[in-house]
């Protein structure tokens, strides 16, 4: 026990200690708020830090372009490619100030892969808040920031052009990454639903673009050549489904005059918003339907 007369001095000292603690605490709070604010601003350019667990679209700014892009990614069992793709493209588009929403079109039925039907379904599900689309392979990452993902008002814009794609160099190639306004996609009646298994649907789409009287554009002035993209695909590990039944062989070079966006048949099993390393995307589980009397090659026999 202290003598009674010493108590006021002690109380005074204790009070002083508390107020220094309070000041230090406040200082810490202010400093962490400043740090958080600074890292959030930096993250608008390179999203990966403490602000990245945001709801879809939250990081985009209203001052960005008035248009909004739906990134349509046909997908099946490519998990490690997805883990790389979503954060990469979200950051790439953010640096270009392109407002966007990434839709992973996950084919969950037991039919053969149908890239074109997934894109048609993704187009229909992409919502009224997007006015243009890019069909985007999950294994192709743009590396050159000068590749323009802006609104392609004057016609389809083939980002993965044959002069830049590391592997595919024929003149009519429009696969990999292709941007279109929604109006132009509708003018083509989307893509044909008759292509099950790997390949040819993009070659047929080239003919639809021409048939609709649209002008195809490609990047110019890109100096990185075949190093413009990172191609993640390993064909030895992921074998492509290149089987062709006799009937399919006869069909594969034809243009489908009647079908496309108007007759794609699917149902959405689920819609899940996820973030991958802080980058938002929506996974649509899509169940495609096949009329086997029309395209018996949708199942492997
Ligand atoms: C196929 C296309 C494919 C391209 C590049 C062509 O032979 O028909 O569908 O995109 O090769 O792989």
Q: Which tokens is 73 given?
A: 């990614």
The larger pLDDT score, comparing residue 210 to residue 16, is at 210
pLDDT of residue 235: 76
Q: Ligand 1, atom 10: nearest CA belongs to which residue?
A: 175
Q: Is the dihedral of CA 107, 113, 118, 119 positive or negative?
A: positive
pLDDT of residue 14: 60
Categorize the per-residue pLDDT at 40 as very low, low, confident or very high, splitting at 50, 70 and 90.
Answer: very low
What Rg, from alpha-carbon coordinates, does the chain have? 26
Most informative mutation of 162, 176, 191, 199 for ligand 1 (most atoms within 8 A of CB): 199
Contacts of 48 (CB under 8 A, 6+ apart): 87, 91, 277, 278
pLDDT of residue 4: 43
Categorize the per-residue pLDDT at 238 as very low, low, confident or very high, splitting at 50, 70 and 90.
Answer: confident
Q: How many whole angstroms from 118 Cα to the centroid of ligand 1? A: 17
Categorize the per-residue pLDDT at 33 as very low, low, confident or very high, splitting at 50, 70 and 90.
Answer: low
Interatomic CA distance for residues 128 and 73, integer angstroms: 18
Chain-centre distance for alpha carbon 128 = 17
Categorize the per-residue pLDDT at 194 as very low, low, confident or very high, splitting at 50, 70 and 90.
Answer: very high
pLDDT of residue 233: 77
Interatomic CA distance for residues 157 and 120, integer angstroms: 18
Whole-Å CA distances, 177 to 8, 23, 148? 77, 56, 11
Say if CB 185 and CB 133 are below 8 A apart: yes
Percent of the chain with pLDDT over 70: 83
Highest mean pLDDT among 4-13, 29-38, 213-222: 213-222
Interatomic CA distance for residues 62 and 131, integer angstroms: 16
Interatomic CA distance for residues 186 and 208, integer angstroms: 11
Q: Ligand 1, atom 11: nearest CA belongs to which residue?
A: 199
* DSSP letter for each residue of 66-106: S-EEEEEEEESS-HHHHHHHHHHHHHHHHHTT-EEEEEEEE
Q: Is the CB of 166 under 6 A from ligand 1?
A: no
Mean pLDDT of the region 229-235: 87
Q: Which tokens is 193 given?
A: 């639903």
Mean pLDDT of the region 61-81: 92
Q: How many whole angstroms from 146 Cα to the centroid of ligand 1? A: 25
pLDDT of residue 16: 67
Categorize the per-residue pLDDT at 5 as very low, low, confident or very high, splitting at 50, 70 and 90.
Answer: very low
Q: Is the CB of 199 under 6 A from ligand 1?
A: yes
pLDDT of residue 53: 38
Most informative mutation of 178, 194, 203, 206 for ligand 1 (most atoms within 8 A of CB): 203
Interatomic CA distance for residues 19 and 210, integer angstroms: 76
Whether residue 152 is predicted with pLDDT greater than 70 in this model: the reply is yes
Q: Which of 135, 112, 165, 121 is nearest to 290 (CA)?
A: 112
pLDDT of residue 89: 98
Q: Is the CB of 200 under 6 A from ligand 1?
A: yes
Whether residue 272 is predicted with pLDDT greater than 50 in this model: the reply is yes
pLDDT of residue 110: 97
Q: Ligand 1, atom 3: nearest CA belongs to which residue?
A: 199
pLDDT of residue 15: 60
Instruction: Count the residues in the chain.
Output: 301
pLDDT of residue 286: 98
115-124 vs 201-211: helix crossing angle, rounded to 10: 50
Interatomic CA distance for residues 73 and 37, integer angstroms: 33
Categorize the per-residue pLDDT at 65 as very low, low, confident or very high, splitting at 50, 70 and 90.
Answer: confident
Interatomic CA distance for residues 115 and 191, integer angstroms: 9
Categorize the per-residue pLDDT at 13 as very low, low, confident or very high, splitting at 50, 70 and 90.
Answer: low
Across the chain, mean pLDDT equals 87
Closest approach atom of ligand 1 to CA 168: 5
Q: How many whole angstroms from 87 Cα to the centroid of ligand 1? A: 27
- For the stretch 88-137, pLDDT in tens is 999 999 999 999 999 999 999 999 999 999 999 999 999 999 999 999 99
Interatomic CA distance for residues 175 and 193, integer angstroms: 16
pTM of model > 0.85: no
Interatomic CA distance for residues 120 and 70, integer angstroms: 12
Q: Which tokens is 26 given?
A: 């406040």
The larger pLDDT score, comparing residue 77 to residue 33, is at 77
Q: Which tokens is 120 given?
A: 């048609």
Q: Is the CB of 168 under 6 A from ligand 1?
A: yes
- For the stretch 246-270, pLDDT in tens is 888 888 888 999 999 999 999 999 9
Q: Is the CB of 60 under 6 A from ligand 1?
A: no
């Amino acid at each position: 026990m202290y003598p009674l007369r010493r108590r006021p001095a002690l109380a005074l000292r204790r009070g002083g200690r508390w107020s220094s603690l309070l000041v230090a605490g406040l200082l810490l709070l202010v400093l962490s708020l400043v740090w958080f604010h600074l890292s959030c601003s930096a993250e608008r350019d390179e999203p990966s830090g403490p602000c990245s667990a945001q709801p879809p679209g939250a990081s985009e700014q209203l001052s960005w372009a008035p248009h909004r892009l739906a990134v349509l990614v046909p997908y099946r069992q490519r998990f490690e490619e997805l883990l790389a793709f979503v954060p990469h493209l979200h950051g790439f588009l953010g640096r270009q100030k392109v407002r966007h929403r990434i839709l992973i079109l996950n084919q969950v039925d037991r039919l053969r892969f149908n890239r074109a039907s997934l894109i048609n379904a993704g187009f229909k599900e992409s919502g009224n808040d997007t006015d243009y689309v890019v069909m985007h392979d999950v294994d192709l990452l743009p590396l050159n920031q000068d590749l323009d993902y802006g609104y392609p008002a004057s016609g389809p814009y083939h980002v993965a052009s044959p002069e830049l794609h590391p592997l595919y160099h024929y003149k009519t190639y429009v696969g990999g990454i292709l941007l279109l306004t929604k109006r132009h996609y509708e003018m083509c009646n989307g893509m044909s639903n008759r292509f099950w298994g790997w390949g040819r649907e993009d070659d047929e789409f080239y003919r639809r673009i021409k048939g609709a009287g649209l002008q195809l554009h490609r990047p110019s002035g890109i100096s990185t050549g075949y190093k413009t993209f990172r191609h993640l695909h390993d064909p030895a590990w992921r074998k492509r489904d290149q089987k062709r039944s006799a009937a399919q062989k006869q069909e594969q070079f034809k243009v489908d005059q009647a079908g496309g966006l108007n007759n794609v048949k699917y149902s959405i099993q689920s819609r899940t918003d996820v973030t991958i390393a802080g980058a938002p995307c929506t996974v649509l589980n899509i169940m495609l339907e096949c009329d086997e009397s029309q395209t018996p090659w949708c199942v492997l026999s």
